[in-house]
Chains A and B, each alone.
Chain A
Amino acid sequence: MTFHWHVVWDNLDRFATGAVLTVELTVLTMALSIPGGLLLAFLRLSPFGPVRVATTAFVELFRSTPLILQIYWVYYVLPTFTEIQFPAFETAIIGLVCNVSSYNSETFRAGIVSIRTGQWNAGLAVGMTKAQVMGRIVLPQAAMRVLPALATTWVSLFKDTSLVSVINVEELSYQSLKIRTETFTILEVLTAMATIYWLMGYPQAKLVDWVHRRYKAAE
Protein backbone atom coordinates (compact mmCIF):
# COMPACT_ATOMS: atom_id res chain seq x y z
CA MET A 1 0.00 0.00 0.00
CA THR A 2 1.20 3.47 -0.72
CA PHE A 3 1.60 6.18 1.88
CA HIS A 4 1.05 9.80 1.04
CA TRP A 5 3.19 11.49 3.65
CA HIS A 6 3.29 14.64 1.59
CA VAL A 7 -0.22 15.32 2.86
CA VAL A 8 1.28 15.93 6.26
CA TRP A 9 3.97 18.27 4.99
CA ASP A 10 1.56 20.14 2.74
CA ASN A 11 -0.72 20.86 5.67
CA LEU A 12 1.91 21.50 8.32
CA ASP A 13 0.65 25.04 8.82
CA ARG A 14 -2.83 23.83 9.67
CA PHE A 15 -1.46 21.29 12.12
CA ALA A 16 0.56 24.07 13.66
CA THR A 17 -2.43 26.40 13.95
CA GLY A 18 -4.35 23.64 15.63
CA ALA A 19 -1.53 22.90 18.04
CA VAL A 20 -1.25 26.56 18.98
CA LEU A 21 -4.96 26.74 19.69
CA THR A 22 -4.70 23.59 21.81
CA VAL A 23 -2.06 25.28 23.91
CA GLU A 24 -4.09 28.50 24.14
CA LEU A 25 -7.13 26.60 25.33
CA THR A 26 -5.07 24.80 27.96
CA VAL A 27 -3.36 27.89 29.30
CA LEU A 28 -6.47 30.06 29.34
CA THR A 29 -8.58 27.38 31.00
CA MET A 30 -6.05 26.73 33.73
CA ALA A 31 -5.52 30.44 34.30
CA LEU A 32 -9.23 30.82 34.97
CA SER A 33 -9.67 27.53 36.78
CA ILE A 34 -7.20 28.16 39.56
CA PRO A 35 -9.05 31.17 40.95
CA GLY A 36 -12.25 29.35 40.00
CA GLY A 37 -11.25 26.32 41.99
CA LEU A 38 -10.18 28.42 44.98
CA LEU A 39 -13.51 30.21 44.95
CA LEU A 40 -15.45 26.95 44.85
CA ALA A 41 -13.25 25.45 47.59
CA PHE A 42 -13.90 28.35 49.94
CA LEU A 43 -17.61 28.30 49.15
CA ARG A 44 -17.68 24.62 50.05
CA LEU A 45 -16.03 25.37 53.38
CA SER A 46 -18.49 28.22 54.02
CA PRO A 47 -20.45 28.26 57.28
CA PHE A 48 -23.69 28.96 55.37
CA GLY A 49 -25.64 25.74 54.66
CA PRO A 50 -27.33 26.71 51.38
CA VAL A 51 -24.08 28.06 49.91
CA ARG A 52 -22.26 24.86 50.83
CA VAL A 53 -24.98 22.64 49.41
CA ALA A 54 -25.31 24.56 46.15
CA THR A 55 -21.55 24.60 45.58
CA THR A 56 -21.23 20.90 46.43
CA ALA A 57 -24.01 20.11 43.95
CA PHE A 58 -22.25 22.10 41.23
CA VAL A 59 -18.88 20.49 41.88
CA GLU A 60 -20.24 16.95 42.11
CA LEU A 61 -22.21 17.43 38.93
CA PHE A 62 -19.18 18.48 36.92
CA ARG A 63 -17.04 15.73 38.42
CA SER A 64 -19.53 12.95 37.85
CA THR A 65 -20.50 13.59 34.23
CA PRO A 66 -18.44 13.31 31.04
CA LEU A 67 -16.67 16.43 29.83
CA ILE A 68 -17.78 15.84 26.27
CA LEU A 69 -21.42 15.92 27.37
CA GLN A 70 -20.76 19.04 29.40
CA ILE A 71 -19.34 20.70 26.28
CA TYR A 72 -22.44 19.78 24.28
CA TRP A 73 -24.68 20.90 27.13
CA VAL A 74 -23.02 24.31 27.40
CA TYR A 75 -23.15 24.73 23.62
CA TYR A 76 -26.76 23.66 23.00
CA VAL A 77 -28.58 24.08 26.27
CA LEU A 78 -27.07 27.09 28.00
CA PRO A 79 -28.17 29.52 25.25
CA THR A 80 -31.79 28.49 25.83
CA PHE A 81 -31.48 29.69 29.43
CA THR A 82 -29.37 32.79 28.95
CA GLU A 83 -30.61 33.89 25.52
CA ILE A 84 -26.95 34.38 24.51
CA GLN A 85 -25.28 32.17 21.93
CA PHE A 86 -21.58 32.27 22.58
CA PRO A 87 -19.22 31.45 19.72
CA ALA A 88 -17.61 28.03 19.83
CA PHE A 89 -14.31 29.06 21.41
CA GLU A 90 -15.92 30.94 24.31
CA THR A 91 -18.37 28.10 24.84
CA ALA A 92 -15.51 25.65 24.99
CA ILE A 93 -13.77 27.82 27.58
CA ILE A 94 -16.90 28.06 29.71
CA GLY A 95 -17.35 24.29 29.66
CA LEU A 96 -13.69 23.55 30.33
CA VAL A 97 -13.42 26.10 33.12
CA CYS A 98 -16.51 24.79 34.93
CA ASN A 99 -15.11 21.28 34.67
CA VAL A 100 -11.51 21.96 35.69
CA SER A 101 -12.49 24.40 38.45
CA SER A 102 -14.60 21.66 39.99
CA TYR A 103 -11.68 19.23 40.02
CA ASN A 104 -9.37 21.95 41.33
CA SER A 105 -11.80 22.84 44.10
CA GLU A 106 -11.56 19.29 45.39
CA THR A 107 -7.78 19.43 45.18
CA PHE A 108 -7.65 22.71 47.08
CA ARG A 109 -10.20 21.61 49.65
CA ALA A 110 -8.30 18.38 50.33
CA GLY A 111 -5.05 20.33 50.53
CA ILE A 112 -6.39 22.80 53.09
CA VAL A 113 -8.02 20.09 55.16
CA SER A 114 -4.92 17.90 55.05
CA ILE A 115 -2.85 20.34 57.04
CA ARG A 116 -2.90 18.78 60.45
CA THR A 117 -4.98 20.50 63.11
CA GLY A 118 -1.77 20.55 65.10
CA GLN A 119 -0.53 23.26 62.76
CA TRP A 120 -3.68 25.29 63.38
CA ASN A 121 -3.31 24.86 67.10
CA ALA A 122 0.34 25.81 67.04
CA GLY A 123 -0.48 29.01 65.15
CA LEU A 124 -3.40 29.93 67.38
CA ALA A 125 -1.38 29.12 70.50
CA VAL A 126 1.22 31.71 69.54
CA GLY A 127 -1.62 34.25 69.38
CA MET A 128 -2.38 34.57 65.66
CA THR A 129 -5.90 35.20 64.39
CA LYS A 130 -7.64 32.55 62.30
CA ALA A 131 -7.04 34.61 59.17
CA GLN A 132 -3.35 34.93 59.95
CA VAL A 133 -2.99 31.22 60.57
CA MET A 134 -4.78 30.52 57.29
CA GLY A 135 -2.70 32.99 55.35
CA ARG A 136 0.75 32.40 56.84
CA ILE A 137 0.76 28.79 57.96
CA VAL A 138 -1.96 26.71 56.33
CA LEU A 139 -2.22 28.08 52.79
CA PRO A 140 1.53 28.11 52.08
CA GLN A 141 1.79 24.48 53.15
CA ALA A 142 -1.40 23.61 51.28
CA ALA A 143 0.03 25.26 48.16
CA MET A 144 2.97 22.84 48.23
CA ARG A 145 0.61 19.92 48.74
CA VAL A 146 -1.66 20.74 45.81
CA LEU A 147 1.08 21.33 43.27
CA PRO A 148 1.38 17.67 42.25
CA ALA A 149 -2.39 17.29 41.84
CA LEU A 150 -2.57 20.53 39.86
CA ALA A 151 0.21 19.33 37.59
CA THR A 152 -1.70 16.11 36.89
CA THR A 153 -4.89 18.08 36.21
CA TRP A 154 -2.94 20.28 33.80
CA VAL A 155 -1.92 17.33 31.64
CA SER A 156 -5.45 15.89 31.71
CA LEU A 157 -6.71 19.28 30.60
CA PHE A 158 -4.22 19.33 27.76
CA LYS A 159 -5.61 16.01 26.55
CA ASP A 160 -9.22 17.03 27.11
CA THR A 161 -8.94 20.04 24.82
CA SER A 162 -9.23 17.52 22.02
CA LEU A 163 -12.89 17.09 22.98
CA VAL A 164 -13.88 20.63 22.06
CA SER A 165 -13.31 19.63 18.46
CA VAL A 166 -16.83 18.25 18.54
CA ILE A 167 -18.25 21.77 18.60
CA ASN A 168 -15.91 22.73 15.79
CA VAL A 169 -13.30 24.62 17.75
CA GLU A 170 -10.33 24.47 15.41
CA GLU A 171 -7.71 22.99 17.69
CA LEU A 172 -5.39 20.15 16.74
CA SER A 173 -7.92 17.29 16.64
CA TYR A 174 -10.40 19.26 14.58
CA GLN A 175 -7.72 20.32 12.08
CA SER A 176 -6.35 16.80 11.79
CA LEU A 177 -9.69 15.12 11.28
CA LYS A 178 -10.72 17.79 8.73
CA ILE A 179 -7.56 17.18 6.74
CA ARG A 180 -8.33 13.48 6.88
CA THR A 181 -11.80 13.88 5.44
CA GLU A 182 -10.49 16.21 2.75
CA THR A 183 -7.63 14.02 1.60
CA PHE A 184 -8.76 10.49 2.55
CA THR A 185 -5.32 9.74 3.94
CA ILE A 186 -6.24 8.10 7.21
CA LEU A 187 -3.06 6.56 8.55
CA GLU A 188 -0.74 9.42 7.63
CA VAL A 189 -2.90 12.11 9.17
CA LEU A 190 -3.67 10.06 12.29
CA THR A 191 0.01 9.34 12.75
CA ALA A 192 0.86 13.02 12.41
CA MET A 193 -1.88 13.96 14.86
CA ALA A 194 -0.80 11.36 17.41
CA THR A 195 2.85 12.30 17.02
CA ILE A 196 2.24 16.01 17.54
CA TYR A 197 0.19 15.36 20.65
CA TRP A 198 2.85 12.95 21.86
CA LEU A 199 5.65 15.45 21.26
CA MET A 200 3.77 18.08 23.24
CA GLY A 201 2.38 15.80 25.89
CA TYR A 202 5.31 13.54 26.75
CA PRO A 203 7.52 16.31 28.17
CA GLN A 204 4.55 17.57 30.15
CA ALA A 205 3.97 14.12 31.63
CA LYS A 206 7.64 13.92 32.62
CA LEU A 207 7.42 17.39 34.13
CA VAL A 208 4.45 16.23 36.19
CA ASP A 209 6.53 13.31 37.48
CA TRP A 210 9.24 15.76 38.47
CA VAL A 211 6.72 17.95 40.32
CA HIS A 212 5.42 14.88 42.14
CA ARG A 213 8.93 13.89 43.19
CA ARG A 214 9.93 17.38 44.22
CA TYR A 215 6.79 18.23 46.17
CA LYS A 216 6.12 14.90 47.79
CA ALA A 217 4.04 15.51 50.91
CA ALA A 218 6.34 14.99 53.85
CA GLU A 219 4.69 14.92 57.23
Chain B
Amino acid sequence: MIDLTPLLLRWPFLANALLVTIELSLSSMVVGLAIGIVVGTLRTYGGRVIDAVFGFYVDSMRSVPLLVVLVWTVFAFPLVFGHAIGTLTAGIIGLGIHLGAYVAETIRAGLTSVRKGQMQAARALGMSRFEAIRKIILPQALVRMLPSLGSLLTFAIKDSAVASVIAVPELMRQSQVVAGQTYHFKEIYTSAMIAYFLLCYPVARGVDRIYRRVAHLGSS
Protein backbone atom coordinates (compact mmCIF):
# COMPACT_ATOMS: atom_id res chain seq x y z
CA MET B 1 0.00 0.00 0.00
CA ILE B 2 2.55 2.54 1.08
CA ASP B 3 5.69 2.52 -1.00
CA LEU B 4 8.41 4.74 0.38
CA THR B 5 11.09 3.88 -2.19
CA PRO B 6 10.73 6.99 -4.36
CA LEU B 7 10.83 9.08 -1.23
CA LEU B 8 14.01 7.41 -0.02
CA LEU B 9 15.63 7.66 -3.43
CA ARG B 10 14.86 11.33 -3.95
CA TRP B 11 15.29 12.53 -0.39
CA PRO B 12 18.38 14.71 -1.03
CA PHE B 13 16.44 16.52 -3.72
CA LEU B 14 13.53 17.11 -1.38
CA ALA B 15 15.77 17.98 1.57
CA ASN B 16 17.35 20.68 -0.56
CA ALA B 17 13.88 21.93 -1.42
CA LEU B 18 13.12 22.10 2.29
CA LEU B 19 16.19 24.29 2.78
CA VAL B 20 14.93 26.58 0.03
CA THR B 21 11.58 26.77 1.83
CA ILE B 22 13.32 27.75 5.05
CA GLU B 23 15.45 30.33 3.27
CA LEU B 24 12.42 31.71 1.46
CA SER B 25 10.39 31.94 4.69
CA LEU B 26 13.11 33.62 6.74
CA SER B 27 14.13 36.04 4.00
CA SER B 28 10.58 37.11 3.26
CA MET B 29 10.03 37.55 7.01
CA VAL B 30 13.08 39.82 7.19
CA VAL B 31 11.90 41.87 4.22
CA GLY B 32 8.39 41.95 5.66
CA LEU B 33 9.65 43.10 9.06
CA ALA B 34 11.78 45.83 7.53
CA ILE B 35 8.89 47.18 5.46
CA GLY B 36 6.36 46.63 8.22
CA ILE B 37 8.24 48.39 11.02
CA VAL B 38 8.83 51.45 8.85
CA VAL B 39 5.30 51.59 7.47
CA GLY B 40 3.66 50.77 10.80
CA THR B 41 5.64 53.41 12.69
CA LEU B 42 5.06 56.03 9.99
CA ARG B 43 1.35 55.30 9.96
CA THR B 44 1.12 55.69 13.72
CA TYR B 45 3.16 58.85 14.10
CA GLY B 46 3.36 60.38 10.64
CA GLY B 47 0.11 62.28 10.39
CA ARG B 48 -3.02 61.88 8.28
CA VAL B 49 -1.60 62.08 4.76
CA ILE B 50 1.15 59.52 5.36
CA ASP B 51 -1.36 57.30 7.13
CA ALA B 52 -3.65 57.41 4.09
CA VAL B 53 -0.90 56.81 1.54
CA PHE B 54 0.53 53.78 3.33
CA GLY B 55 -2.97 52.70 4.23
CA PHE B 56 -3.57 52.28 0.52
CA TYR B 57 -0.57 49.94 0.29
CA VAL B 58 -1.70 47.92 3.30
CA ASP B 59 -5.32 47.62 2.20
CA SER B 60 -4.30 46.66 -1.32
CA MET B 61 -2.20 43.77 0.00
CA ARG B 62 -5.21 42.69 2.02
CA SER B 63 -7.42 42.72 -1.08
CA VAL B 64 -5.23 41.08 -3.70
CA PRO B 65 -4.25 37.40 -3.47
CA LEU B 66 -0.61 36.49 -2.83
CA LEU B 67 -0.66 34.48 -6.04
CA VAL B 68 -1.34 37.66 -8.00
CA VAL B 69 1.41 39.57 -6.20
CA LEU B 70 3.93 36.83 -6.93
CA VAL B 71 3.00 36.50 -10.59
CA TRP B 72 3.10 40.27 -10.89
CA THR B 73 6.57 40.46 -9.33
CA VAL B 74 8.01 37.87 -11.67
CA PHE B 75 6.60 39.48 -14.81
CA ALA B 76 6.53 43.16 -13.99
CA PHE B 77 10.07 43.34 -12.63
CA PRO B 78 11.87 42.75 -15.94
CA LEU B 79 9.54 45.18 -17.70
CA VAL B 80 10.21 47.90 -15.15
CA PHE B 81 13.88 47.34 -14.39
CA GLY B 82 15.05 45.99 -17.71
CA HIS B 83 16.57 42.68 -16.72
CA ALA B 84 15.15 39.36 -15.60
CA ILE B 85 14.76 38.37 -11.99
CA GLY B 86 15.58 34.99 -10.44
CA THR B 87 12.54 33.07 -9.25
CA LEU B 88 13.79 32.82 -5.68
CA THR B 89 14.46 36.57 -5.51
CA ALA B 90 11.05 37.25 -7.02
CA GLY B 91 9.54 34.97 -4.42
CA ILE B 92 11.31 36.75 -1.56
CA ILE B 93 10.34 40.19 -2.82
CA GLY B 94 6.72 39.27 -3.58
CA LEU B 95 6.23 37.46 -0.29
CA GLY B 96 8.01 40.23 1.59
CA ILE B 97 5.88 42.99 0.11
CA HIS B 98 2.71 41.03 0.85
CA LEU B 99 3.78 40.12 4.38
CA GLY B 100 5.00 43.66 5.05
CA ALA B 101 1.44 44.95 4.97
CA TYR B 102 0.37 42.53 7.69
CA VAL B 103 3.47 43.27 9.75
CA ALA B 104 2.69 46.99 9.44
CA GLU B 105 -0.79 46.45 10.84
CA THR B 106 0.59 44.39 13.71
CA ILE B 107 3.16 47.07 14.50
CA ARG B 108 0.51 49.77 14.36
CA ALA B 109 -1.73 47.85 16.75
CA GLY B 110 1.21 47.25 19.05
CA LEU B 111 2.33 50.88 19.13
CA THR B 112 -1.17 52.19 19.82
CA SER B 113 -1.69 49.61 22.54
CA VAL B 114 1.07 51.12 24.68
CA ARG B 115 -0.45 53.45 27.27
CA LYS B 116 -0.52 57.14 26.42
CA GLY B 117 1.05 57.83 29.79
CA GLN B 118 4.30 56.17 28.70
CA MET B 119 4.81 58.78 25.98
CA GLN B 120 3.92 61.52 28.45
CA ALA B 121 6.34 60.18 31.05
CA ALA B 122 9.13 59.97 28.48
CA ARG B 123 8.51 63.50 27.23
CA ALA B 124 8.18 64.80 30.79
CA LEU B 125 11.79 63.71 31.26
CA GLY B 126 12.70 65.87 28.29
CA MET B 127 13.02 63.22 25.56
CA SER B 128 12.10 64.13 22.01
CA ARG B 129 9.27 62.22 20.35
CA PHE B 130 11.78 60.26 18.28
CA GLU B 131 13.82 59.27 21.33
CA ALA B 132 10.66 58.32 23.19
CA ILE B 133 9.44 56.13 20.31
CA ARG B 134 12.80 54.47 19.88
CA LYS B 135 13.69 53.82 23.52
CA ILE B 136 10.38 53.55 25.32
CA ILE B 137 7.40 52.86 23.04
CA LEU B 138 8.83 50.55 20.37
CA PRO B 139 10.57 48.09 22.75
CA GLN B 140 7.42 47.61 24.81
CA ALA B 141 5.31 47.32 21.67
CA LEU B 142 7.60 44.66 20.20
CA VAL B 143 7.23 42.52 23.31
CA ARG B 144 3.44 42.85 23.13
CA MET B 145 3.45 41.94 19.46
CA LEU B 146 5.52 38.79 19.86
CA PRO B 147 2.56 36.39 19.56
CA SER B 148 1.25 38.15 16.44
CA LEU B 149 4.70 38.33 14.88
CA GLY B 150 5.16 34.64 15.63
CA SER B 151 1.94 33.80 13.89
CA LEU B 152 3.06 35.93 10.93
CA LEU B 153 6.20 33.80 10.76
CA THR B 154 4.06 30.68 10.42
CA PHE B 155 2.16 32.51 7.68
CA ALA B 156 5.48 33.22 5.96
CA ILE B 157 6.26 29.51 6.03
CA LYS B 158 2.86 28.49 4.70
CA ASP B 159 2.76 31.23 2.09
CA SER B 160 6.18 30.18 0.81
CA ALA B 161 4.40 27.21 -0.74
CA VAL B 162 2.44 29.56 -3.03
CA ALA B 163 5.77 30.46 -4.61
CA SER B 164 5.53 27.07 -6.31
CA VAL B 165 3.31 28.66 -8.94
CA ILE B 166 6.18 30.84 -10.08
CA ALA B 167 8.48 27.82 -10.12
CA VAL B 168 10.58 28.64 -7.09
CA PRO B 169 12.34 25.33 -6.29
CA GLU B 170 10.94 25.11 -2.76
CA LEU B 171 9.34 22.10 -1.11
CA MET B 172 5.85 22.34 -2.63
CA ARG B 173 7.19 22.70 -6.16
CA GLN B 174 9.77 19.97 -5.88
CA SER B 175 7.22 17.63 -4.28
CA GLN B 176 5.01 18.24 -7.30
CA VAL B 177 7.92 17.42 -9.59
CA VAL B 178 8.78 14.15 -7.84
CA ALA B 179 5.13 13.13 -7.50
CA GLY B 180 4.58 13.86 -11.17
CA GLN B 181 7.56 11.75 -12.16
CA THR B 182 6.90 8.77 -9.89
CA TYR B 183 3.09 8.88 -9.50
CA HIS B 184 3.52 8.19 -5.78
CA PHE B 185 1.30 11.13 -4.83
CA LYS B 186 0.25 9.67 -1.48
CA GLU B 187 3.74 9.25 -0.05
CA ILE B 188 5.25 12.43 -1.46
CA TYR B 189 2.45 14.82 -0.60
CA THR B 190 1.89 13.31 2.82
CA SER B 191 5.56 13.69 3.69
CA ALA B 192 5.39 17.26 2.46
CA MET B 193 2.44 17.87 4.82
CA ILE B 194 4.45 16.38 7.67
CA ALA B 195 7.49 18.49 6.80
CA TYR B 196 5.51 21.75 6.82
CA PHE B 197 3.78 20.73 10.04
CA LEU B 198 7.15 20.09 11.68
CA LEU B 199 8.24 23.57 10.59
CA CYS B 200 5.15 25.51 11.64
CA TYR B 201 3.90 23.85 14.79
CA PRO B 202 7.12 24.23 16.84
CA VAL B 203 7.44 27.85 15.71
CA ALA B 204 3.96 28.63 17.01
CA ARG B 205 4.53 26.82 20.32
CA GLY B 206 8.03 28.24 20.69
CA VAL B 207 6.81 31.80 20.30
CA ASP B 208 4.12 31.11 22.91
CA ARG B 209 6.75 29.90 25.35
CA ILE B 210 9.05 32.85 24.79
CA TYR B 211 6.18 35.29 25.12
CA ARG B 212 5.06 33.90 28.44
CA ARG B 213 8.51 34.52 29.85
CA VAL B 214 8.89 38.10 28.64
CA ALA B 215 5.27 39.30 28.74
CA HIS B 216 5.89 41.34 31.89
CA LEU B 217 8.37 43.49 30.00
CA GLY B 218 5.55 44.76 27.85
CA SER B 219 2.80 45.42 30.36
CA SER B 220 2.65 49.03 31.43
Contact = CB atoms under 8 A, between A and B. Distances in A.
Q: Direct A–B touching in the complex (beta carbon < 8 Å)?
A: yes
Interface of A: 1, 60-61, 63-70, 72-73, 76-77, 80, 155, 159-163, 165-166, 173, 177, 186-187, 190, 193-194, 197-198, 200-202, 204-206, 208
Nearest to A65: B196
Given A69-B175, A69-B189, A155-B63, 4 more contacts: A161-B65, A166-B165, A190-B75, A190-B76
Interface string B140-165: 00000000000000100111111011
Contact of A159 (B65, B76, B196, B197): B65
Given A60-B201, A61-B197, A66-B159, A162 B189 contact: no
Contact of B196 (A64, A166, A177, A190): A64
Interface in B178-220: 179, 185-186, 189-190, 192-193, 196-197, 200-201, 204
Most buried by B among A155, A198, A204: A198
Interface of A is mostly: helix
Given A65-B196, A66-B158, A66-B172, A173 B63 contact: no
Given A73-B190, A190-B71, A64 B201 contact: yes
A72 B174 CA distance: 13
Nearest to B204: A64
Contacts of A198: 60, 63-64
A179 to B, nearest CB: 13
B193 A201 contact: no
A177 B65 CA distance: 14
Nearest to A156: B62
Most buried by A among B59, B75, B172, B204: B59
A162 B71 CA distance: 12
A4 to B, nearest CB: 14
A64 B172 contact: no
8 contacts: A65-B200, A68-B165, A69-B175, A69-B192, A162-B68, A187-B75, A198-B64, A208-B62
A122 B189 CA distance: 50
B57 interface: no
A194 B72 contact: yes
B176 interface: yes
B161 A64 contact: no
A165 B62 contact: no
Nearest 6 Cβ contacts at the A-B interface: A201-B63, A66-B161, A162-B65, A64-B200, A76-B185, A159-B65
Contacts of B201: 60, 64
B125 interface: no
Interface string B2-30: 00000000000000000000000000000
Contacts of A194: 64, 68, 72
Given A159-B65, A197-B64, A201-B64, A66 B196 contact: yes
Nearest to B192: A69
B68 A76 contact: no
A44 to B, nearest CB: 16
A73 B193 contact: yes
Given A65-B200, A68-B162, A69-B189, A197 B176 contact: no
Contacts of B175: 69
Contacts of A205: 59, 62-63
A1 B71 CA distance: 20
Contacts of B192: 69
B79 interface: yes
B189 A76 contact: yes
Nearest to A22: B65
B33 interface: no
A1 B78 CA distance: 13
A204 B196 CA distance: 30
Contacts of A201: 62-64
B172 A65 contact: no
Contact of B189 (A1, A77, A187): A77
Contact of A69 (B67, B71, B75, B196): B196
